[in-house]
Amino acid sequence: MPELVALHIADPPALWRELGFTLAGRDCDIGGVQHRLGADGVGVTRWEVAGLSAFKELATADATTSAKTKGVAHPNGVCALDHVVVTTPDLSRTVAAFEEASITLRRTREASATMTQAFFKLGAVVIEVVGNPTVADSGPATFWGLTFTVDDLDATAVLLGERLRPIKDAVQSGRRIATLDRAAGSSLPIAFMSAADRTPD
């Protein structure tokens, strides 16, 4: 089964250190997924997926590592990459591309009349593909944002202070979420979510 092993991200390493991530040079290991910072461009620029050398919908680099190294501690409490959000102008086309790459569609959710979410998994990481179910335009799918699981969302909020927007209930039952304010300086949307077995206080 294809497994996500790395993301290339345009944010500078210094910014992620300020946000409470532990880095080794430009690399940040989160639950075995390498986040390679300092890439040219904006946001997530490409990914590395073991077992997937090419993927027509998203910029894909040959996997140069494996998702086996885990256990790096981060002061902000991040313990895993929960999900990657991808937007597409043609939902049916992108879903078909995932399935052609042997990445199985797990479920869909109708978020609104103009937005459907399609969910896949690459190893332990959820890939959420978002698009309009009734409109299909040309153009590529793009990486949009990341959501991380944290051990203690309240502690994360204390560490990040005004850089984190208020905590609220997540769509996922029993979980809470808070998004990083864009003024914090990241080139992509980032959210922090409580663990799956945590219930709201």
Distance between CA atoms of 134 and 59, rounded to whole angstroms? 25
Instruction: Return mean pLDDT, the chain.
Output: 92
Residue 188, domain member (yes or no): yes
Give the pLDDT confidence score for residue 198 in this predicted structure. Answer: 41
Give the pLDDT confidence score for residue 197 in this predicted structure. Answer: 60
Distance, C-alpha 78 to centroid of its chain = 13
**Domains identified in the chain, total number:** 1
Average pLDDT rounded to a whole number, residues 124-148: 95
Residue 200, domain member (yes or no): no
Distance between CA atoms of 113 and 111, rounded to whole angstroms? 7
Residue 45, domain member (yes or no): yes
Average pLDDT rounded to a whole number, residues 137-165: 97
Residue 201, domain member (yes or no): no
Average pLDDT rounded to a whole number, residues 132-139: 92
Give the pLDDT confidence score for residue 199 in this predicted structure. Answer: 40
Contact 12, 26 (CB under 8 A): no
Average pLDDT rounded to a whole number, residues 135-163: 96
CATH number for the domain harbouring residue 10: 3.10.180.10
Residue 34, domain member (yes or no): yes
Of the candidate ranges 123-127, 140-144, 194-198, the one whose mean pLDDT is the lowest: 194-198
Higher model confidence: residue 197 or residue 156? 156
Residue 66, pLDDT > 70, answer: no
H-type alpha helices, the chain: 13-18, 91-100, 153-160
Q: Confidence band (pLDDT; 50, 70, 90) for 10?
A: very high
What are 108-135's pLDDT values in tens digits?
Answer: 999 898 999 999 999 999 999 999 999 9
Average pLDDT rounded to a whole number, residues 137-154: 96
Domain containing residue 157 = 3-194
Residue 200, pLDDT > 70, answer: no
Residue 199, domain member (yes or no): no
pTM over 0.75: yes
Give the pLDDT confidence score for residue 201 in this predicted structure. Answer: 35
Residue 56, domain member (yes or no): yes
Give the pLDDT confidence score for residue 63 in this predicted structure. Answer: 83
Residue 113, domain member (yes or no): yes
Residues counted in the chain: 201
Distances (CA, A) of 108 to 83, 116, 117: 15, 7, 5
Residue 89, pLDDT > 70, answer: yes
